Amino acid sequence: MLNGTEPSTRSTEYAVVFGVVVMLGLPLNAASLWILCTRMSLKSCNVIFMVNLALADLLLVISLPARVYYHATGAWPLGNMACIWFMMLLRNNIRSSSIFITFISVDRLIAVVCPLRSRHLRTASNAWKAVALAWVFVLAVNIPESLKLKQFLYSTNESRCYEYTKDLKGSKFRYFQPVLVLTLLAVNIVSTVLVSLTLRTRLNDSARVKNKVNIMLIFFMNLMMFAVCFVPVSMFVFFNCDSHCRTPLIWLASMNCCLDPLLYYFSFDGFWKRKEDVDTSGAREE
């Protein structure tokens, strides 16, 4: 049973930085989810993807107070199963957030490149199907991974949650997350390049400068999210990285729940207020 009484597990600095994530992420994502569900149309693909992104972030945030307590006291009173659940919530957030951010990028790509021909694809029904498949995929990975993690925690002599010094060596899941994140990053890079080229050729008039800047900000923020939050923590399996270098990477990964609301802001301000105008312009250009 985990007891986590070793004094070396205490870290006031980690308790503070994770506490800041909780204080920022909880109200930001709760407010974002409320605005998305009450003020925005759930018939829009992008809103559907953002609702699920905010939900994934909120699930991560509500799990972080346990980590704050752990780093502040050096004790883990909740047992192995709770430790597994909280650790899986972080992994699920990285996977689900990277998937939903990629959905947003691909949706914007299709909307900009072929606004008329894509209307039969960019429907609420298809968006919900994609979201459901994403959640099923993420949760399906949990089953064997949680069993392997449970086996590891119960067999190790270490008694500290979050502080295991090896990442399931020999497990087939060892390289799953970096491959997934790098693949989705490649999709975001290609989407960004294609949208940038399309905006240069189709939206050159001065009236469209603000829209163009805001649309590109969405793509650059998506890339920044991968570069800062998802890629570093996913790549530590390739290096000899113990808990002392892993915890800062996990903190960086958890910061995505504080940065995602900026993505919603730029989407609302730069795109949704002019959605009908943009679609009409795209129809005329087609």
Residue among 62, 58, 15, 67 nearest 261 (CA): 58
pTM across the whole model: 0.84
Residues 211, 268: Cα–Cα separation, whole Å: 11
Whether the per-residue pLDDT at 224 is higher than 60: the answer is yes
Q: Establish if 136 belongs to a structural domain.
A: yes
Structure tokens at 66: 């346990």
Q: How confident is the model at residue 281 (pLDDT cuts 50, 70, 90)?
A: very low
Residue among 54, 46, 42, 47 nearest 109 (CA): 46
Q: Establish if 273 belongs to a structural domain.
A: yes
Q: What is the pLDDT of residue 143?
A: 85
If one compares 157 and 110, the residue with the highest pLDDT of the two is 110
Q: Establish if 158 belongs to a structural domain.
A: yes
Structure tokens at 70: 């752990």
Q: How confident is the model at residue 166 (pLDDT cuts 50, 70, 90)?
A: low
Whether the per-residue pLDDT at 55 is higher than 70: the answer is yes
- For the domain that residue 223 is a member of, what is the CATH number? 1.20.1070.10
Residues 89, 63: Cα–Cα separation, whole Å: 7
Q: Which domain holds residue 270?
A: 7-285
Q: Establish if 114 belongs to a structural domain.
A: yes
Residues 285, 279: Cα–Cα separation, whole Å: 10
CA atoms within 13 A on the CB side of 212: 15
Residues near 204 by beta carbon (within 8 Å), at least 6 away in sequence: none
Coil vs helix vs strand at 57: helix
Q: Establish if 208 belongs to a structural domain.
A: yes
Structure tokens at 13: 């600095």
Q: Establish if 1 belongs to a structural domain.
A: no
Q: Establish if 178 belongs to a structural domain.
A: yes
Integer angstrom CA distances of residue 140 from 49, 69, 282: 20, 29, 39
Q: How confident is the model at residue 163 (pLDDT cuts 50, 70, 90)?
A: low
Q: What is the pLDDT of residue 239?
A: 59
Model pLDDT for residues 106-128, shown as the tens digit of each residue: 998 888 888 777 778 888 999 99
Tokens 């392997």 -> residue: 148
Q: What is the pLDDT of residue 283?
A: 37
If one compares 88 and 276, the residue with the highest pLDDT of the two is 88
Model pLDDT for residues 226-275, shown as the tens digit of each residue: 999 999 888 876 655 656 677 888 888 999 999 888 888 777 654 344 44
Q: Establish if 2 belongs to a structural domain.
A: no
Domains in the chain, number: 1
